[in-house]
Structure 1
Amino acid sequence: MPLSPAFSSILEKEYEINFTQCLPSGRLKYTELCNLLQLTAATHADLGGISFTDMQEFNQAWVLSRMRIEIKALPQWKDIVTVKTWINTLENSRSIRALEIYLNGEKIIGGETFWAVFNTVKRRPEALALGHKHFELYPDLKATKESFSKIIINPEKEEVFEKKVILSDLDIINHVNHVKYLEWCMDVVDEKIILNQKIKSFEMNFMKELSLRDQVVIHENLSDNSIVFSITKENKNCFALQLNLV
């Protein structure tokens, strides 16, 4: 697809929060927050000629490898938010993308995301086949106070439940979407933590893709100010999530 006349290296897009995206508290679900960020990143890629459709000509797609989200407040039903995004780095098979969410002109959420170019036939990373020099990069313009950190998976973790991957867990790339991993873990978090907005930041690390009918185990490790989840398949770590609490 040719470069859109609407393309800019920094994109701002408005959304109105609808009731299907909200918790019983009326605040935006954490999973829907990630969906908004994912959709905005996809829109920016579309406008810049490196969308899923463009990349599929070379059997390529963007997949999320790591994500850090810092939260001052969650928007609520009927709020109109502005999501802003730009690229910090883009080289070969890797890219770091920044995202911010504003409400009434005030920044309420910042995100740093690490993406990899993935060959959807060979199922492995490879260099981006499309030109991208028209994207201006902003390596020093950060959306979060802290960058990615290493999530420590405690061997003393507790097994929470087992799950078999089903069709509704899969996305267009034919593997489990990152929002689904988050949903599985959030479903076992104490509801008071979620409803009272006790999560000040969270990080996700994706290690191995999961496919239809994979059997996985979700583990949890609790501390005073954080909760760490890990998901394993055949005793190998596939995913880690750390929730940092206020």
Structure 2
Amino acid sequence: MTQIDLTGRTALVTGGAQGLGEGIARALADAGAQVIVADIQDDLGAKLAETLGEPHRFVHLDVTSDESWSAAVASSIEQFGGLDVVVNNAGLEVTQLLVDTEPDDVRRMLEVNLLGTMLGIKHAFRAMRPDGAAGQGGTVINLASVAATIAFPAIAGYSATKSGIDRLTRVAAMESGKLGYGVRVNCVYPGLIATAMGQKLAAETAQLGLFESPEAAVSAVVDLTPSGRLGEIADIADAVAFLASDASRFVNGAGLPIDGGMGM
């Protein structure tokens, strides 16, 4: 990603310890950003920050906690002198049919996926707006999902939370603009990728009898995708780096599908 230059910028990535979050953290670091890997998985997060090397850091963050967000953002600004990019990547998916809806599972997804993203926007705005501790504006990138644009069985709760992130993104962009915060807010819609979460979804939909096997579930997704393959972590991470950069300076309040055409 030599065309993307994030030198001198500080980026915080939630759920950054593994999977897609790790890929995003690596892409931002490769583009020159100072990266804060933020996660509840302290060992994995600290290990990744160490692997990335100086000046990158790890910070403990429970995205559902207002206090945890305050501490993580304050720590990031203290260490790097500012905050320019927040990537709200942390997410949770529970596979279940609507007839088997478990309220506690839905509440967990709402708290992590939707409330966690909302709190990320809140604390990014407070830090980045002109009177904030960082005070130089910036950009927020939220992770929605192709699940927000298609009707795939057994992920109703997850789809609802990701659809909510889409609407939240657009309202946040408008608020930032109207109030002069100088913060762009966009979201991306990743297609199915072979992370632990993607593999779990394939296995669980097969267990529910929706597909003959996990492989058949994956084939069904590929069949719905004009590009003819699953997504890769780099596909999503590169797009996030683009939205974090000046190359996307007039992109605001937008949702970018990175799904090979699956959700069209």
Query: TM-score over 0.5 for the alignment?
Result: no
Task: Tell me which protein shows more strand as a share of its residues.
Answer: 1
TM-score under structure 2 normalisation?
A: 0.29
Task: Tell me which protein shows more helix as a share of its residues.
Answer: 2
